A and B are shown apart, each in its own frame.
Chain A
Amino acid sequence: MTAFLALVARDLRLALRQGSDAALVVAFFVLAVMLFPFGVGPEPQLLARIAAGVVWVTALLAALLSLDRLFQQDYEDGCLEAIALAPLPLEAAVLAKCLAHWLTTGLPLVAVAPALAALLQLDAGGYLPLVFAMALGTPSLSLVGAVGAALSLGARRAGVLLSLLVLPLYIPVLIFGVAAVEQAVAGFAIRPYLSILTAFLVAALPLAPWAAAAALRPALE
């Protein structure tokens, strides 16, 4: 457990001292959402109709954008091999890195999302469901993304490959994340959608680190 926490603390420190990474992801998120009023026109009804989808899709892309730094840097400077050699199981190490990744990218996205939803004229009843849905959905994005990042580690054109691998697997989170917000705006219960998002997270928590560790091992040989 101390090793696990030490790894989380190390990744957090690295992310905070280098600073720009989390800020860049949020900046991308804001900018990409801002493009939509220019693209589809500024009518409030239209924007309110697509707000939940736009925020979720751009959050997905922002999360995707940040995935390559999950293992890439440690892989290049050899830290990843040291982590793999440590007594901490590689699966737990992956989980620690996912946690740090979510704290530095997922959490800021969740924090900014209501402000962007307000810019897009989302109905006020949708703010809280959006935050809940994103708080439950973005950890799954980090976990599933870790599998893709581990698989494409060291590949040619790893960035393009990563999006090809990860985006299809993100679709369920997107569907139920958007549905939660839209149902809330329409006045229906959001509990079933939040339950499904929680189920994804609970399934991804043990399975994704396991798959990612299986994908990392050949990369370290």
Chain B
Amino acid sequence: MQRFANPGRFMRLSGKIMPWCGAGAAITFALGLYWALFVAPPDYQQGEAVRIMFVHVPAAWMASFVYAFLALASAVALIWRHALADIAAQAAAPLGAGFTLLCLITGSLWGEPMWGTWWVWDARLTSVLVLFFLYVGYIALVNGFDDPTRGARAGAVLALVGVVNLPIIKFSVDWWNTLHQPASVFRLGGPTIDKSMLAPLLIMAVAFTLYFAAVLMLRMRTAILASRVRTARLGEMEPMAESRGGQQAAGSVG
């Protein structure tokens, strides 16, 4: 793990892996969407509206998964002070916020035909909304300081505090019996969802994960390159400042 903390090594490795992730995401998205929207059977109760699930459920998984990733990267950043972990956490946060928003919007679109309402103050929905605000708070906090390292460390602490929300999201449907259905894939005793729907769902989940990996690497590479550009610019300015200082000193002597 520690060996990959070297930004140079990360740039070389990610440069090789990223195109594969991107291509894999494109292929699995095409396959998964075709399967989900055309091949998979309509639900016996929900009809065609069930197809929203193939976007909604992977987005919801990713929303939690990315937060867990964000918290893990923050913990690594706080404990071992790896600059790369900070970069990873900051690169992941907007992606996680995007997945959470996608999950909320698709859930709302799905709720209207099924439950007859866009929104209910159900435990699952509320805890996911809180997750969205945790992401937004993290992004605002990281960008709220003039000193970027201070923002990174404050954000890391916030990310760890927010972890308490993850088990609440996962178990909210079991603890509070409300409109949102209980877990039907990751549960003791196997999934209750039919194979004809489970297969495209899992392909979509793989597609979302590959997409996240590809864009995460892209964002991390961009952040590393941007900091290199900044360092190089500062390096260029130093001799200029020195020569100007020298001239002024000479002028004052003259």
Q: Which chain A residues have a beta carbon within 8 Å of chain B's beta carbons?
A: 147, 151-152, 154-158, 161, 164-165, 167-169, 171-172, 211, 214-215, 218-219
Q: Is the CB of B141 within 8 A of A211?
A: no
Q: How far is the CA of A151 from the CA of B140 in the complex (A)?
A: 11
Residues on the A chain within 8 Å of B137, using CB = 161, 164-165, 168
The reply on B136 being an interface residue by CB < 8 A is: yes
Q: How far is the CA of A199 from the CA of B231 in the complex (A)?
A: 49
Contact with A along B148-161 (1 / 0, CB 8 A): 01110110011011
Number of B residues near A (Cβ < 8 Å) is 23
Q: Is the CB of B158 within 8 A of A165?
A: yes
Give the residue among B130, B134, B151, B154 with the most A Cβ atoms within 10 A: B154
Q: Is the CB of B146 within 8 A of A214?
A: no
**Chain B interface, >50% SS class:** helix
Q: How far is the CA of A180 from the CA of B161 in the complex (A)?
A: 26
User: In the assembled complex, how far is the CB of residue A93 from the closest CB belonging to chain B, in whole angstroms?
Assistant: 17
Chain A residue with minimal CB distance to B157?
Answer: A215
Q: How far is the CA of A107 from the CA of B55 in the complex (A)?
A: 48
Chain A residue with minimal CB distance to B145?
Answer: A155
User: In the assembled complex, how far is the CB of residue A207 from the closest CB belonging to chain B, in whole angstroms?
Assistant: 8
Q: How far is the CA of A211 from the CA of B153 in the complex (A)?
A: 12
Residues on the B chain within 8 Å of A172, using CB = 168
The reply on B223 being an interface residue by CB < 8 A is: no
User: In the assembled complex, how far is the CB of residue B120 from the closest CB belonging to chain A, in whole angstroms?
Assistant: 15
Residues on the A chain within 8 Å of B141, using CB = 151-152, 155, 161, 165
Q: Total A-B residue pairs with C-beta atoms closer than 8 Å?
A: 57
Contact with A along B161-173 (1 / 0, CB 8 A): 1100000100000
Kindly list the 8 A-B residue pairs having the minimum CB-CB distance in the complex, ordered from nearest.
A155-B144, A168-B133, A218-B153, A215-B157, A165-B137, A168-B130, A151-B154, A164-B137
Q: How far is the CA of A171 from the CA of B133 in the complex (A)?
A: 12
The reply on B213 being an interface residue by CB < 8 A is: no
User: In the assembled complex, how far is the CB of residue B100 from the closest CB belonging to chain A, in whole angstroms?
Assistant: 12
The reply on B78 being an interface residue by CB < 8 A is: yes
Chain B residue with minimal CB distance to A215?
Answer: B157
Q: How far is the CA of A136 from the CA of B133 in the complex (A)?
A: 25
The reply on B106 being an interface residue by CB < 8 A is: no
Q: Is the CB of B161 within 8 A of A169?
A: yes
Q: Out of B150, B160, B168, which one reaches A218, CB within 8 Å?
A: B150
Residues on the A chain within 8 Å of B126, using CB = 171
Residues on the A chain within 8 Å of B146, using CB = 156
Q: Is the CB of B130 within 8 A of A154?
A: no
Q: How far is the CA of A155 from the CA of B152 in the complex (A)?
A: 12
Q: Is the CB of B157 within 8 A of A161?
A: no
Residues on the B chain within 8 Å of A155, using CB = 141, 144-145, 151, 154
Q: Is the CB of A211 within 8 A of B140?
A: no
Q: How far is the CA of A69 from the CA of B74 in the complex (A)?
A: 28
Q: Is the CB of B78 within 8 A of A214?
A: yes
User: In the assembled complex, how far is the CB of residue A19 from the closest CB belonging to chain B, in whole angstroms?
Assistant: 31
Residues on the A chain within 8 Å of B130, using CB = 168, 171
